[in-house]
A and B are shown apart, each in its own frame.
Chain A
Amino acid sequence: MIKILKYSFYDLMRSRWSYVYLAFYMLLGFVLLFLNSDLSKATITLMNIIVVLTPMIGTIFGIMYFYNSREFTELLLSQPVKRSTIFLGQYLGLSLSLSMSLIIGLGIPFLMYGITQSDAVGNFITLLASGTFLTFIFVALSLNIGLGNSNKIKGFGYAILMWLFFAVIYDGLFMISLIVFGDYPLDKFALGASLFNPIDLSRIMILLKLEISALLGYTGALFQKFFGTNLGILISVGVLLLWIFIPVMLMLRKSLRKDF
């Protein structure tokens, strides 16, 4: 598995897109800090971008890589290697290289502007951690879609739709249900609903970290109570891990049964 992981990882490291992705984040970091050298403010702006962009890049890269390396995968399958090893290796290689682009790309500019000495360092680490989580989650989800659809166009369509659903449509449905059922106590519902969407979950975790919690009024008080405690943080990290674990398991199951 390590060999396949290594191969996928180096393959991606050599590819142009990893550099483009890295360069994009680096540029973003520098421009943000150039326009506004207040690190904590830049972290807030970055949040908006990370929460939307990392899932999208993860999804698109995941599905693209799956279809592009199909022939190589088929070659591997003919060798005496376990299927789960092949796909897990590919998955980890892809997710790791994307996460590294993110961490290095944003890390360098923020380090150069002295993030380690500022108060925003905790927030920044939370930001990178949730970006990494989102990458791992969405790569797994998109590989699932790839395995389920041999038709490239269909696969791409579903992947984009999946991203759109989590990034936009879910929040829309969420908001509508909050408005429609406004006469009922909705705090617990809101808390539960946010756990079912990794993008929302990481967004809210970062929001609460950035002390915007007071804005959230009494709903926020509940959230603060939940996410502010160690138990809450453990639960939300646990949920994020589940969000990685379940799609990966599904992917492995699918890969075992699939007739290539």
Chain B
Amino acid sequence: MEGIRIGYLLGGIAVMAVMTYIIRMLPMAIFRKKIDNIFIQSFLYYVPYTVLAAMTFPAIFYSTQSVPSASAGCAAAVVLAYRGKGLLIVAVGAAAAVFIVQLAMNMML
């Protein structure tokens, strides 16, 4: 993970920025009519959820020093999110659970 090349990073950021801008810009510049197609509307409605779900699982279980601590963090995140807590609270709560479990595991070894 150390030392991502600066050239690669700058190029990557440019790719992200340009792609994101083109998507936002094209309709403003060209299109005037609304899309009525229900299938396309529905497809776009589901995209944010499916993509985030696929990115999170199973990667979340390998995001910390050990699978047990990551599982604890995942469980904490699910419970907090289910109770309707905001993004920052859920993120910090998950990290706190990871921290506690990891500390307990290190002490036992």
Q: Is chain B found bound to chain A in the same assembly?
A: no
Residues of B in contact with A (beta carbons under 8 Å apart): none
